[in-house]
Amino acid sequence: MSKYNLVQSTFNRDNLRPDEDDAAITMHIRQVVEAAPDFLPVTDEGRDDFVNRLSQWWGGVQPFVDSNVFLHESRFYDIPDGGPFPAKDPRAWMGDPVKVHTWNSPGTDASGALPPQVAISVTLKTAHRKRWGRYYLPAPARNTLDTKGAIDAAAASALANATKFLTSRAGTGACMTVFSRLHWNHEDPETIQVDDIFDVIRRRRFSTPIFRTTVPAS
């Protein structure tokens, strides 16, 4: 058993363009037991609880994600104790997933998709600036775009409030935390921040054009 899990959630984009690879976001979680220390093994109960939290999160986020994009699945990986480990790729030391939850749940906005490399960043501010975390929501719909090219305030607020479901340390289960691969420990978020500026994740751009036009130069 491990004190931390990495949770990778993937988003299927085949309806936007055939055979396009999935977009992914990653989070780290730790076990939560009321009035108990922070350092507890993540249990099956904790993972099940975090699936429920992700469901609540997705319910708040869905209205701002394009309906052609599906939240596909969430994979949970044990992070072994005793790090840091030298490998840059976490898959080299995490092994197989200890839990896989399938969603196949689409976004619910039909206003149309923004370019696939556009994302909304969510910053998890901890007590120390150098320990802040972040994740990037893929496939924001056009309804997240205001008339001046910024993120609509309603979308930003909804995403920030949905993220609160993931960071709550109440009750028994698991919560999102900010894990450091340098220190091999965690700091819990104190503030969730969503700005009105879109981010660009280049690796999420479409890999192959469907249409290409050329004209002779004059």
- 122: tokens are 């969510």
The whole-model pTM stands at 0.92
Is 38 within the bounds of a domain? yes
Find out whether 124 and 160 touch, Cβ atoms under 8 Å.
Answer: no
Coil, strand or helix at 166: helix
- Neighbouring C-beta atoms of residue 210, cutoff 10 Å: 7
pLDDT of residue 88: 67
Domain count within the chain: 1
Is 10 within the bounds of a domain? yes
Cis peptide bond upstream of 41, omega within 30? no
pLDDT tens, position by position, for the chain (218 residues)? 789 999 999 999 999 999 899 999 999 999 999 777 777 899 999 999 999 999 999 999 999 999 999 999 999 999 998 888 876 666 677 789 999 999 999 999 999 999 999 999 999 999 999 999 999 999 999 999 999 999 999 999 999 999 999 999 988 999 999 999 888 999 999 999 999 999 999 889 888 888 999 999 98
Q: 183: domain range? A: 4-204
212: Cβ–Cβ under 8 A, 6 or more apart, which residues?
none
Is 93 within the bounds of a domain? yes
Is 218 within the bounds of a domain? no
- Beta bridge mates, 28: 6, 177
